Amino acid sequence: MSQRNIHYAWIILIISFLGVLAAQGVRLSFGAFIGPWEKQFSVSRGTISAISFVSYIVFAISQPLIGKMIDRFGIRSVFIISMLVVGGATLCSFYATSVWQLLIIYGIIASLGFGGASGLTASVAVTKWFDAKRGFALGLVEAGFGAGQMILVPASVLLIGYVGWKYTVMILGMFIVAVVTPVLLFFLRNEPSDVGASAYGRRENDAKTAMPDQLATDKSVLKSRAFWFLIIPFFVCGFTTTGLMDTHLIPFTQNCGFAPGVISVAVATLAAFNIIGTLISGIVADRWSNRIFLSLLYFIRALTIALLLVFSSDIRLLAIFLEYPVLLFAFSLSFGLVDFSTVAPTIKLLSTYFHKQSIGLITGWLFMSHQIGSALGSYIPGLLFDWSGSYQLSFSISIALLIAAGMMSVLLPETWKIDERVHGKIKAELHRGM
């Protein structure tokens, strides 16, 4: 099962973290390439944002399919092949000579790889390998997004400044193909049984009694209030994080007049506190009401975006913003803490509400909603910027959506009621079998 008393689940967690860091770090670096691509191909920000929009749509559509593939072929095959697709497409973008080529290479091909080497695959891995400390493990693996953002996004900004965008994508592609993929190939496994183990924290009687339970059929999931009240806020989550901020924060700060060094520090700060936030979120998700926690995260995120809205609303306030970059860093810190921290409580709630169903497929639908939100959150602000010359309206829309998401999260069912149903069904099944 393990060597030196280290359960193999922790190795799976580390490997999943590395895979998410690499693939999603490259994806989140898109904002660093917006300016260079605008100049290289002489196109508008809306046109470049369209590439991101297509990317997120492809990513979104892929999620239920990826979920079914995970259920059928396993985590290992999906993760490794997806990583090779991401690396190969990144290398091929070196040879792009027009926007439509980038649209195909990045918007379609690479995005299929992003869909497989994603939080969906990593979350399913954690669900399979962890019974105990699942919230903590989910928080840690989601911290891979923040780590990728902290390492690869600032690195991309600096590399573009020194060697240009073409050689930057070459370096990123080689890192994925030559470094990360071999590690996944050698160490990643599908199930605990592949190494002669059971899930971390699972007792033998838990494994036996958990089998009869199934709260609902796949069709009834679509009729569940809990399903939609998780799906819709997660859509808003995608709109406001990977859509709006991760795509447009760098162009927004450049438009404000911040120096490249300040922008790099701000992005790195956001990413660093993203890691801290996701780790704290995982710990809290194991100990507190996840629906209340989730609603607080959405409300706090609305307040952080309001900070940008205020300081970019008036030329005098903008001057103060530029004079005191610590204000930008304060935004990065606060937004980072609530950036990806919604994932752990959302997945915990999902696994409680829909216990023992096709976890890959249902999680795929959840992440599909997130990516559709990301698609719209990356594209619409680009169009609104071309129309108005600012991000004011985009920030206002995001704040309204986050308030709605927080209210929906409050209305989610309490998980203790679900637990009572689970235990009742298990007892009934055991009684019938006696």
Least confident window among 25-34, 213-222, 279-288, 400-409: 213-222
Is residue 164 very low, low, confident or very high in pLDDT (cuts 50, 70, 90)?
Answer: very high
DSSP annotation of 217: -
- Which tens digits make up the pLDDT trace of 97-143? 888 999 999 999 999 999 899 878 888 888 888 887 878 888 888 78
Q: What is the pLDDT of residue 395?
A: 95
Is residue 217 very low, low, confident or very high in pLDDT (cuts 50, 70, 90)?
Answer: very low
First and final CA of the chain: distance in angstroms? 32
Distance CA 307, CA 133 (A): 35
Structure tokens at 28: 């989140």
- Which tens digits make up the pLDDT trace of 242-264? 889 988 898 899 888 898 889 88
β-sheet bridge partners, residue 2: 7
Q: What are phi and psi of 201, to 5 degrees?
A: 85, 0
Q: What is the pLDDT of residue 421?
A: 52
Average pLDDT for 23-40: 87
pLDDT at residue 394 above 90?
Answer: yes
Q: 76: number of CA atoms within 13 Å, CB side?
A: 13
The domain made up of 2-200+211-433 has a fold known as Growth Hormone; Chain: A; (1.20.1250)
Q: What is the pLDDT of residue 63?
A: 83
Q: What is the pLDDT of residue 396?
A: 95
Compute, in degrees rounded to 10, the torsion defined by CA atoms 98, 100, 103, 106: -40
Q: What is the pLDDT of residue 34?
A: 85
> Is residue 342 a contact partner of residue 294, using CB atoms and an 8 Å limit?
yes
- Which tens digits make up the pLDDT trace of 176-191? 999 999 999 999 998 8
Cα 335 to chain center, whole Å? 15
Average pLDDT for 403-419: 80
Q: What is the pLDDT of residue 207?
A: 44
pLDDT at residue 430 above 60?
Answer: no
Please give the share of the chain, as a percent, with pLDDT higher than 70. 88
Q: What is the pLDDT of residue 275?
A: 85
Dmax (CA) of the chain: 76
> Is residue 197 a contact partner of residue 10, using CB atoms and an 8 Å limit?
no
pLDDT at residue 410 above 50?
Answer: yes
pLDDT at residue 149 above 90?
Answer: no
- Which tens digits make up the pLDDT trace of 337-382? 998 889 889 988 887 777 655 666 777 888 889 888 988 898 888 8
Q: In whole numbers, what is the pLDDT of the chain averaged over residues? A: 84
Considering the entire predicted model, what is its pTM?
A: 0.74
Which residue, among 172, 202, 210, has the nearest Cα to 26 in the 3D structure?
A: 172
Average pLDDT for 215-227: 63
pLDDT at residue 48 above 90?
Answer: no
Please give the share of the chain, as a percent, with pLDDT higher than 90. 33
Distance CA 288, CA 271 (A): 25
List the alpha helices (DSSP H) in 211-259: 218-221, 225-238, 246-256
Q: What is the pLDDT of residue 221?
A: 66
Distance CA 315, CA 307 (A): 15
- Which tens digits make up the pLDDT trace of 297-312? 999 999 999 999 998 8
Q: What are phi and psi of 6, to 5 degrees?
A: -100, 115
Average pLDDT for 166-175: 94
pLDDT at residue 169 above 90?
Answer: yes
CA distances from 324 to 269, 312, 319 (A): 16, 13, 9
Structure tokens at 410: 């409050």
> Is residue 141 a contact partner of residue 13, using CB atoms and an 8 Å limit?
yes
Q: What is the pLDDT of residue 1?
A: 46
Distance CA 128, CA 23 (A): 21
Considering only residues 88 and 366, tell me which one the structure prediction assigns the higher pLDDT. 88
